[in-house]
Amino acid sequence: MILEQLNKFLENNPQVQWRQDDEGNLYLRHSQFDGEHEKVKIEPDALAKITPEKLEQVLIGGRNVEHITRVTGYFSRVSGWNKGKRGELMDRQRVGLA
């Protein structure tokens, strides 16, 4: 991951808290989870090898995070959708609003 990708990841994930030490190591933590979960340390050489998807997976750490979406005015848990509907969700294009 290059610095530009990391910045975009952090912009798109405001729930991720982070800091950097003098050696360039990054310490990240997903704020949704309580204090018992440790920060993730990523050294500069490891950052170059990690993808945004893998970073997100590491931060969530396999914890069950419910995905809820709003379709035509009501909210629905994605976990209750069938395989085809979840596939449609993955094919949707997401845009940011300024």
Region for residue 73 given its phi and psi (left: phi exceeds 0; alpha: psi -120 to 50; beta: otherwise): left
pTM of the model: 0.51
- CB 59: neighbour CB atoms within 10 A? 23
Mean pLDDT of 91-97: 77
Instruction: Quote the pLDDT of residue 80.
Output: 81
Domain boundaries, the chain: 3-60
Mean pLDDT of 12-32: 83
Cβ atoms of residues 42 and 50 within 8 Å: yes
User: Which tokens hold the place of 62?
Assistant: 């396999």
Instruction: Quote the pLDDT of residue 94.
Output: 75
Distance in angstroms (rounded) separating the CA atoms of residues 4 and 10: 10
